[in-house]
A and B are shown apart, each in its own frame.
Chain A
Amino acid sequence: MAMPRPNLTDALDRLNERPQPRPRIAVHKFSSCDGCQLAFINAGEALLQLAELVDIVHFAEAGPMDPEAAVDLAFVEGSISTPEEAERIQAVRANTRFLVSIGACATSGGLQALRNFNVDGAAGWTEAVYAQPEFIHSLDTATPVAEHVKVDLELWGCPVNARQVFQALRQLLFGVAPVVDRDKLCVECKRQQHVCVLVARGEPCMGPVTHTGCGALCPAFGRDCYACFGPAENPNTAALAHRFEGLGLLPEAVARRFHLINSHTPAFQTEWLDWQERS
């Protein structure tokens, strides 16, 4: 378990120093599939209970609309991929005491960060997908929130689940630093006593380098993890990549394992580049 970082404690102090005891919260959407907001919307009874504990002042998909309201706690879904979003995220930061980015898009750029590696730039793709590319206003990159503004807490996952979000929210409402489990997926998988899909079946499982939190779903279903929760702390990606090669994957296929949902993270990007060059 990691110790709270200093900027987290400062932000926590600001959150705890709010003028009114009842917290005001906002949920903002940027470039995304809307799946992480569903951690709230799919929560059922817990969503109604949350509304008794806090004022939900902005949450467009659920209904409350006040995007520029000053809040105590803002949840941000999605990556920054348009000039408008780059401006809007600054306003979200300025209007909140504590900012939580939720999900792979917000924490790593997400799947759409694959555009960042396109040699022709996103413009080339705009031309391929849209008949009138001049109508599209998009940045060349899709980047995580933390590359634009200070983020106080990141909740990783594609998608984040209700347990993750409500656990962090509960801890913040108690005024304490949320504890995020930083184990690797393998540890959770072992606890659940699943047969190792890498060792027993030679599947290119990303579990050894992937951040825990999903509940080791893929191995439970007998398939290889595809790292949707992003890189764990200090991941030995080089060793795992070599192991994949040993399983018979071609260098290009090894590269692709690191180049999917969290391609923009330094650990996965390095490994992708390395194996891309070998292919």
Chain B
Amino acid sequence: MTGNREIRIEVPVLARVEGEGALDLVASGGRIETLHLRIFEPPRYFEKFLEGRGYEEVLDVVARICGICPVAYQMTAVQALEQAFGVEPSPWVQRLRRLMYCGEWLQSHALHIHLLALPDFLGFDNGIAMAAKHPDAVRRGLRLQRLGNDLIKLFGGRSVHPVGMRVGGFHRAPDPEQAARVLAELRSALRDAEALVAFTAGLDLPEDDQNFLSVALRHEHEYPMFSGRIVSDGGLDIPVEAFPDRFRESHVAHSTALYAHLDDRPYLVGPLARLNLNHDRLSAPARAALAATGLRLPSRNMFHSVIARAVEIHEAVLEAIRLLEDYRPQEPAFVPVEPRAGTGFGATEAPRGMLWHRYELDDGGRVLSAWIVPPTSQNQARIEDDLRRSLEALGLHHDDDALRQRGETVIRNYDPCISCATHFLKVRVRRQ
């Protein structure tokens, strides 16, 4: 079999990703000529819906951008709105927000590792089929996922589109009895999280080193989640407000998501980028578990993303225990807010990468304009770059099924969240 044959492959919608997209590939003479990650998730115009809305409505609207990471959208927006109004939430509020965010990292990462990515590495079509052969691994994943959801519910009543956050803090302090139950669950989940790190490091992952630029937030002493400066391993170190000076979004024909570049270069956001740039900020137990795997950082192998996610699950469990151990409710759970005209910026680390927001508000606190840059659109150019290199490294002489399988595996590494970005995947391979 040679890579020069004329072949056409079509797979209608890429499975195990959040949202809808496709991969178009044209190969000729054993080389890839064009490669498009085609995102056709319908546009939903959120930035326009926000115009004219009161600041109190923003968190309920932006949550609906994504069912998997609504907390990330709420956290980023609330930060921007509070900055615009000059509101400083109490350290108590900030601690609890970080705790709630740990819940989203846990549920999103556990979902991605076990139901979306792991079937690729263990040779199954889907997580449900995999559960019959690997019941313990899948059940461990489902336990961690549920724990994440329980943690979000503590603050928001439900894990999808939670209702508890407001500008200035929370509508209500979490119930101490419920908090104590979640703390007990977190403590018993520590063993699951440690085992998961070792388990992912033991997977037979492809070796495929590539050169790429990692971008993430960096905080003085915390593992980045909720705040920090925007840094890269290429020397970038800028405040959140300076994002538009260095990052550019552009629109291409094959995608309803906008492409982002840093100084005209593709870049990576997400767990591996965060770990590459911030592994020194992990807590001591998470660092020890990571060291035991023998993973060398920074890693240039995108397939290590699954290990990075497990490390972040471990860190999230440790951090959540730390934040919840001395929990005392405070009422009111918010500081009063006086709207004023101005502009506010927010950047946080959503499970799948940095999320950036900018809002302009009038003196009544109404939104004049909103600008949202989701993680998946930032990764889109990097994914295409990776696909091109990975498929050529694998060798185009492989049959269509093997190429399609590798292509899908590469894309899933990024945990693309296409509903967020549209503002994702059929695979079409054409060989000429």
Seen from chain A, the residues whose Cβ lies within 8 Å of a Cβ on chain B are: 29-38, 41-42, 44-45, 47-48, 51, 56, 60-65, 67, 81-82, 84-85, 110-112, 114-115, 118, 122, 125-126, 128-132, 135-136, 138, 142, 158-159, 161, 214-215, 217-218, 220-223, 226, 228, 253, 256, 260-261
Contact = CB atoms under 8 A, between A and B. Distances in A.
Nearest to B255: A135
A128 B43 CA distance: 12
Nearest to A131: B251
B15 interface: yes
A112 to B, nearest CB: 5
Given A37-B67, A62-B127, 16 more contacts: A29-B19, A32-B67, A33-B66, A33-B419, A34-B66, A35-B67, A42-B149, A45-B139, A47-B142, A48-B142, A63-B115, A63-B127, A114-B49, A125-B48, A135-B252, A221-B156
A114 B48 CA distance: 10
A42 B163 contact: no
Given A34-B19, A61-B18, A41 B111 contact: yes
Contacts of A33: 64-67, 70, 419
B233 interface: no
B15 A65 contact: yes
**Residue with the highest number of chain B CB atoms closer than 10 Å, among A42, A112, A253:** A42
A200 to B, nearest CB: 15
B44 interface: yes
A84 B38 CA distance: 15
B359 to A, nearest CB: 16
A171 B149 CA distance: 26
A185 to B, nearest CB: 13
A26 B90 CA distance: 47
Contacts of A126: 43, 45
A81 B251 CA distance: 20
14 contacts: A36-B67, A38-B67, A41-B115, A60-B14, A63-B116, A63-B119, A64-B125, A64-B126, A81-B44, A82-B42, A115-B49, A122-B45, A125-B45, A217-B163
A118 B45 CA distance: 11
Interface stretch (B164-172, B224-232, B392-400): B164-172
Contacts of A65: 11-13, 15, 125
Contacts of B146: 42, 44
Contacts of B68: 34-35, 38
A41 B148 CA distance: 13
Contacts of B66: 33-35
Contact of A34 (B18, B45, B163): B18
A114 B64 CA distance: 13
Contact of B158 (A81, A129, A217): A217
B431 interface: no
Contact of B128 (A31, A64, A226): A64
Nearest to B131: A48
Contacts of A110: 64
Contacts of B20: 29, 60
B61 interface: yes
B136 to A, nearest CB: 12
B159 interface: yes
Closest 8 A/B residue pairs (Cβ): A35-B67, A63-B126, A217-B157, A131-B251, A44-B142, A33-B67, A35-B160, A159-B160
Interface stretch (B52-60, B204-212, B304-312, B338-346): B52-60
Interface in B78-130: 107, 111, 115-116, 119, 125-129
Nearest to B149: A42
Given A38-B160, A45-B139, A136-B256, A64 B15 contact: yes
Nearest to A77: B67
Given A82-B42, A131-B250, A135-B252, A221 B164 contact: yes
Contact of B161 (A128, A135, A142, A159): A159
A64 B126 CA distance: 6
Contacts of B258: 130-131
**Residue with the highest number of chain A CB atoms closer than 10 Å, among B43, B111, B131, B171:** B43
A47 B128 contact: yes
A121 to B, nearest CB: 11
B429 interface: no
A63 B128 contact: yes
Contacts of B163: 217-218, 221, 223
Contacts of A34: 18-19, 66-68, 419
B252 A45 contact: no
B158 A226 contact: no
Contacts of B70: 33, 35
A27 B321 CA distance: 36
Contacts of A159: 67, 158, 160-161
Given A42-B107, A63-B128, A65-B13, A129 B43 contact: yes
Interface in B233-251: 250-251
A257 B13 CA distance: 37
A29 B41 CA distance: 10
A85 B142 contact: no
B17 A61 contact: yes
A129 B257 CA distance: 10
Given A33-B66, A38-B68, A226 B60 contact: yes
A138 B126 contact: no
Contacts of A226: 57, 60
A220 B156 CA distance: 10
A19 B403 CA distance: 38
Contacts of B12: 65, 67
A271 B270 CA distance: 44
Nearest to A122: B45
A136 B172 CA distance: 42
Contact of B157 (A61, A142, A220): A220
B16 interface: yes
A130 B128 CA distance: 38
Interface in B16-51: 16-20, 40-45, 47-49
A195 B17 CA distance: 42
B380 to A, nearest CB: 14
Nearest to B331: A222
A110 B49 CA distance: 12
